[in-house]
Structures are given as C-alpha cells and as structure tokens.
Amino acid sequence: MTDKKEINAGILIIGNEVLSGRTKDVNTSTLATWLSSLGIKVNEVRVIPDIEKTIIDTVNELRKKYTYIFTTGGIGPTHDDITAESISKAFGIEYNFHKEAFKILESYYKPGEFNEGRQKMAKMPVTSNLILNPTSGAPGFYVENVFCLPGVPSILKSMIGGLENILVGGDPILSSTINLRTVESEIAKSLTEVQNNNIDVDIGSYPFFKAGKLGVSIVLRSTDQNKIDKCNSEILKFVSEKKIEIVERD
C-alpha cells in the first residue's frame, strides 16, 4: 500500500504593517492550526511587503511548490491594498469588478454608503471564486490553488470554515504532549536517538517557565496514532531512567 500523498500549504502574510511591527501576526497560528486539523501540513510561511512585484513573484513561486497557498492582507479599501490586483497579474486574469462580489457588497451597505473606496473591495480577478465573509461582507477570493483572505484576524477566522468543503485534506495530524521538569540540554541526546528511531513522527521540544521553574514540553505529531504511542513509550523510558519529573501544565 502506498503512502497517501502529502497535502501541504504555504502561508503568505502580506503587509508593511506586519514587517514594521505595528501589527502583530496572529493569522499564521490560526491558519496553521486549522490546516493541521484538516491534514494539511504547512511547509513554509513568508512575510512580505505591499510591493506588487514581490507579491507576484512570491505567489508564482509558492503556488508551484505547494498544494495550497493562503495569503492574508491587502484586500481592503485603501490605496496600499494591492493584493487582489497583484494576484490578477500573477495569473494573467483581468482585474476589475467581480459581478457577484459587487452585488454582495452593494446589498451589504445602506443606500449611499457604498462609496468608491468600498467598491474597490469588489475588484479582484474577474473569474475568481469567492470566499464568503460572514463578519463584514467583503468577500475574499481564490484562483486555482491560491486563497486570498483579509488581514484582520477575527474576520479571517470567521471565513476559513467555509473553505473546508473545497480543500482536499490528507490524514488528520495527531499530536501528544509530555511536559517535563528539565532543561533541553539534559534530554537533547536521548531525544535525538528517539527521533532517529521514529522518522515518521515530528518531535518538537519547547521550553516553558512556570511557578519560577523551567520545564520542557515535548510535542509528538504524526498521522499515525500507533507511531505516536511507540515514540511516547521510548521517551517515557529515558525519562524514567534519568528520574526526570513529569509535570502537568495549564
């Protein structure tokens, strides 16, 4: 039996405000957690400025590398929101008013409120498919395997659920966590040996600080629960031999 092909993704965070530190990027975490639950592994995240050529070049590079690309930011009503036009150019599709998007926004706003700035949010690749927005009306869109979402975290979060019947996922990625009262240097050699014995399990170690004491969380991730269990028991064996305390975390 052959292994199921890995379904993967790249995330492209677009916006000068993220690069300058004015805006904190929480969308990567939201998207990566959601995609992981669908069995889609995020292989790369990039943060790029609002520069047309950079957006076009990066989208064209990543869409060939990964099953899906998700962009966030740059699809609002202001002059520096250039993602939609850049995506149109990346695919060689006309950038203009999307008839369906225009109708949605026209009916969303009260008469007289659908001004020129807001109308800009209906401009996108004219043949793109819409990603409906239950929070603020303005839809996102996708062309082939590139999905364009807004940068506002709460709005993005409300929109991604609607994509679950469009995306083809892999096997769900399972995880297990062991929290230890130790430091990484104390377990590094043993953990490397376990990783070498279990190449199909992704093992991560993450220091934490609680109640004035250091600890390490070991997180195991795989699509196969049996492989996680085997890995788990090998880790618990060396933990017991080294007399390392296992702790609970909130």
Cα(85)–Cα(161) distance, rounded to whole angstroms? Answer: 25
Ordered domains of the chain (ranges, CATH):
8-163 (3.40.980.10), 174-246 (3.30.70.600)
At position 86, the amino acid (one-letter code) is S
Cα distance between the two ends of the chain? 41
Question: 232: part of which helix (H) or strand (E)?
Answer: helix 225-241
Q: Which three-class secondary structure state does DSSP give residue 132?
A: coil
Q: Which three-class secondary structure state does DSSP give residue 4?
A: coil
pLDDT of residue 102: 96
pTM score: 0.78
Q: Which residue has the tokens 């695919």?
A: 91
| 154: Cβ contacts below 8 Å, ≥ 6 apart | 135
**DSSP letter string, 75-110:** -SSSTT--HHHHHHHHHT--EEE-HHHHHHHHHHSP
Strand partners, 146: 69, 143
CA diameter of the chain: 73
At position 217, the amino acid (one-letter code) is S
Cα(48)–Cα(40) distance, rounded to whole angstroms? Answer: 23
Q: Which residue has the tokens 């996680």?
A: 228
Task: Quote the radius of gyration of the chain (alpha carbons, Å).
Answer: 22
pLDDT of residue 37: 87
pLDDT of residue 3: 47
CA-to-CA separations, 104 to 112, 134, 137, 138, in angstroms, rounded: 15, 11, 7, 8
pLDDT of residue 1: 34
Burial class (CB in 10 A: 0-12, 13-18, 19+), 225: exposed
Cα(45)–Cα(250) distance, rounded to whole angstroms? Answer: 28
Across the chain, which has 250 residues, the per-10-residue mean pLDDT values are 70 96 95 92 96 98 97 93 97 97 94 92 97 92 97 95 86 87 92 93 89 87 91 95 83
Q: Which three-class secondary structure state does DSSP give residue 138?
A: coil
Strand partners, 217: 179, 206
How do the residues of the chain divide into helix, strand and coil, expressed in percent and rounded to 5? 40, 25, 35
